[in-house]
Structure 1
């Protein structure tokens, strides 16, 4: 027993792993010195327990590891293994592979467990890096638009990416793998290709231009760059070639002369300015439109570059994107250009790269368009100012009519009601004559008329809006709406800002009125929730219903006047109007208005 214990101690010191020993009855846990150096803790003078191990398990691994660990102990097995993350003293985690041997008594009950923890962090990191590297290379291989292939010394195909398979018209790699590529190469170039393969396997990279005929009969011109691929010992194991389909390029070169004549005719007839330039921005050719736009002669422009006609700010802030153009994409930019007389002209420039590598820009003078846009903006501004004025006039007229109805008609109806009531009292109460009945009906009609007058007056301009403020007017109108429609309503408000401008109070109240009217007409709702909140900078009003909702895109296409009117009211207050709705999901309207009190 002593020798066994001695051997165990020697092994625990000799290994680089963490060795542990758990006596379950006493719940004493022992680790070798590697534990303390790897985890970064000092050996405690007290007796360690299994709790130390549990506490350092990663929270996401804790339940899984604990369940498996206790299951092994409570079962009849003698071995337990698991992988988990284990916290070091600095808070970082190690990836641990742990294995333990369970010692049981004659009754099969676990009494002791001995095991070792192996730090797999660097191994897993290395594996992950290898996998990521392989994935990157495979992704590049599969997505590279050029043909990438591997050949052996006999010209047999070992592998080819999807772009290459597409070029040779092979539906799958299995159709061509381990077959000679010489069969698809035109006969005039087979010898040259075979010589290229031999040179590469001698360690010499090479390049070749040749033609092929694909498996489905399409002829292509190809340009390949081949280099030797070596293994870890430096031995050449394959030929790696990147091949580009240059059929379009050759065709373009053949058509360039005839296209040049057509191009010249079209360019000279174009109203817009057209400029041809190289990758350094040097102007190579221009049309008559460019001469007219910039004021230079053709000879002057051909000795200039884009830097000479673009303003300094354009060059600094919006340089010509040659790299983007080289990818085949076109760009559209608004640019400021300097004419020969020093004046600045605003232009729209459409640029692209031609097949021969040069760059072409079509330049349109925006002077007239910008002037028209400015005039349109001023016109819209004037219309909005007029609309705002008309709204104010209408509100003033509403307020005047409301006061007249309330003060004049309301008082007259009240006096008339008092007079009729006096006459009614003079008639004997027991009298059921037609006159008595008519007097009662007249009183009832007068009561209804007074209420109607009050309602009309309030709808025209609620006195609460001027006397008690916006939030009070919202509350009154919402309660009245609830009584008239039977809908459940709720209002949540904060403290109303003091000295809230009249235009904001009126505008928000009218939007609120229109929104409730829309709910009553279209929403088929059962509940409306209104919130009005404000701070020093913004007042936000929201109206939400649980109705049938609607498709906003369809409503926008119809240019609904109600919604347009609310949007315009919000814009005139400098605010923002938004509406969120979907069929079957109700509607939410939010109006945000700056108040800057």
Structure 2
């Protein structure tokens, strides 16, 4: 390497030419010099070993001779000619499959006159490949984001929009990103949701992540419901650069939910109305059976007894038949009374719910042989007529399920008031209910109990007990005063 080239890159106060030469030979660089006619006068550097095959000897070599692409040859020659005119130039060039970043400067003699060009090139092949791979990855990521049907956005610490994909721009009714870049994104959030939105934004820049459902008003006035998940976007040092949000349009889903909720409400109202009508009809039929049919049967029995007494002496056989018929009428009166009680027990209207539950438990034990204990706490005026009917029917259905499915030997019923709420619990020691049995097609009785509770603002659950058996629990809100 010529002393002039070494001097051009060593400079005062730096390494001496010998030290610089040894250093250059160990680094992936090329250093060269050329004369005024662009003939290469010297070359040196560890970069020479990277070229495969290595360049030909220096004799007669001109600038650009080792380069295959004519366009790159022209660019290199132009850079050297510019250096000969006194201006340093930087360029990139490919040689034998390697990429170099080069810089050429005018080479001056002792008098300061330009006598050639000094150049240095650093092998950036691996770095360029990494940059290209990174660029390709970024392009793929950008393509994915651009085609993503959900909104992807970046927001800075002050809430200003940095970037947003086409799906997001469509959501806020923006024609392009430039129209809204730098805009406070909170401006499109509906006023009633801005406080929650700003709170989520603050949490993200505090290092947390979060989800929020909110309503926006687009730039042209269109309302949409969105759900967003926001996370902090950090740089290499871990500092939070922006909030990254993935946002989905749930307007149609919410509309469908509202329609479903309204439909369920209408069905529940209809079911409640049908229960009320059915209960009124049961009460009317029970009263008719008790008052009309019961009285008629009683009168018939009296007539049979009178006829029996008249026939005792004159026609003993007829008297016996009349006595037998009177017994049948007694049985029929009992059946009629039982049917009337099943339809609507008079005790519920006459003595109230606690007495009706006691009677129901005793009747259940007598019929099924299953012991039934009742715990009744004072309820005072907490139970209205409608609630009393619903609670009675829930207990009735619960006991029916125990007798049919539980295989229990003991049932406990508790009724009272806790924290102003009316509570009911029915527990048995049977085989226990499964989750599938509480929601399957055979669970219409449980569904009916739930609907009775829901119609009065209550909640009913049916769950297996930890120690075996099943528990039915219901809670009803306090009666408005």
TM-score bracket, shorter-length normalisation: 0.5 to 0.7
* Cα distance change of structure 1 residues 521 and 367 upon mapping to structure 2, 3 Å threshold: same
* Cα distance change of structure 1 residues 517 and 502 upon mapping to structure 2, 3 Å threshold: same
* Cα distance change of structure 1 residues 432 and 484 upon mapping to structure 2, 3 Å threshold: farther
Contact 2:200 2:210 in 1 (8 A): no
Among candidates 378, 387, 392, match of residue 504 of structure 1: 387
How far 1:517 sits from its partner (Å)?
Answer: 0.7
Structure 2: any 5+ residue segments left out of the alignment?
1-25, 27-128, 236-240
* Aligned counterpart, 2:201: 319
Among candidates 193, 214, 230, match of residue 335 of structure 1: 214
* Cα distance change of structure 1 residues 388 and 281 upon mapping to structure 2, 3 Å threshold: same
What SS does the aligned partner of 1:340 have?
A: coil
* Cα distance change of structure 1 residues 351 and 538 upon mapping to structure 2, 3 Å threshold: closer
* Aligned counterpart, 1:475: 358
Contact 1:497 1:534 in 2 (8 A): no
* Cα distance change of structure 1 residues 536 and 262 upon mapping to structure 2, 3 Å threshold: closer
Cα deviations by residue, 1:374-394 (Å, 9 ceiling, x for unpaired): 222222222222211111111
1:573 aligned onto 2:451:
no
- The structure whose RCO (Cα within 8 Å, separation 6+) is larger is 2
Distance 1:309 1:255 in 2: 38
* Aligned counterpart, 1:459: 342
* Aligned counterpart, 1:262: 140
Distance 1:477 1:344 in 2: 56
How far 1:270 sits from its partner (Å)?
Answer: 3.6
* Aligned counterpart, 2:407: 524
Counterparts of 1:223-372 in structure 2, within 5 Å, are 255-277=133-155, 281-296=159-174, 297-310=176-189, 312-319=194-201, 321-322=203-204, 331-341=210-220, 345-352=224-231, 360-372=244-256
Among candidates 252, 265, 268, match of residue 381 of structure 1: 265
* Cα distance change of structure 1 residues 316 and 302 upon mapping to structure 2, 3 Å threshold: closer
How far 1:427 sits from its partner (Å)?
Answer: 2.8
Distance 2:233 2:378 in 1: 65
How far 1:333 sits from its partner (Å)?
Answer: 2.5
What TM-score, normalized by structure 1, do the two folds share? Answer: 0.52
* Cα distance change of structure 1 residues 279 and 263 upon mapping to structure 2, 3 Å threshold: farther
Among candidates 293, 299, 307, match of residue 415 of structure 1: 299
Contact 1:549 1:583 in 2 (8 A): no
Moved more, 305-314 or 396-405: 305-314
How far 1:531 sits from its partner (Å)?
Answer: 2.1
Structure 1: any 5+ residue segments left out of the alignment?
1-187, 189-250
Contact 2:414 2:425 in 1 (8 A): yes
Contact 2:232 2:244 in 1 (8 A): yes
* Aligned counterpart, 1:406: 290
What SS does the aligned partner of 2:397 have?
A: helix
Distance 1:458 1:338 in 2: 61
Contact 2:383 2:422 in 1 (8 A): no
How far 1:549 sits from its partner (Å)?
Answer: 2.1
* Cα distance change of structure 1 residues 583 and 561 upon mapping to structure 2, 3 Å threshold: farther
Contact 2:382 2:422 in 1 (8 A): no
Distance 2:231 2:277 in 1: 55
* Aligned counterpart, 2:60: none
How far 1:436 sits from its partner (Å)?
Answer: 4.1
1:548 aligned onto 2:426:
no
* Aligned counterpart, 1:58: none
* Cα distance change of structure 1 residues 412 and 469 upon mapping to structure 2, 3 Å threshold: same
How far 1:410 sits from its partner (Å)?
Answer: 0.9
Distance 1:405 1:536 in 2: 41
- Give aligned pairs, total: 344
How far 1:544 sits from its partner (Å)?
Answer: 2.1
Cα deviations by residue, 1:419-456 (Å, 9 ceiling, x for unpaired): 122222223279763x4443333222211111110011
* Aligned counterpart, 2:422: 539
Contact 2:382 2:478 in 1 (8 A): no
Distance 2:402 2:343 in 1: 20
How far 1:405 sits from its partner (Å)?
Answer: 0.9
* Cα distance change of structure 1 residues 359 and 533 upon mapping to structure 2, 3 Å threshold: closer
Contact 2:152 2:165 in 1 (8 A): yes
What SS does the aligned partner of 2:431 have?
A: coil
Distance 1:341 1:536 in 2: 50
Cα deviations by residue, 1:349-388 (Å, 9 ceiling, x for unpaired): 2345679776543322233322222222222222222211
Cα deviations by residue, 1:321-372 (Å, 9 ceiling, x for unpaired): 4358x68xx7432234453346664311234567977654332223332222
RMSD of equivalent CA atoms: 3.3
* Aligned counterpart, 1:439: 322
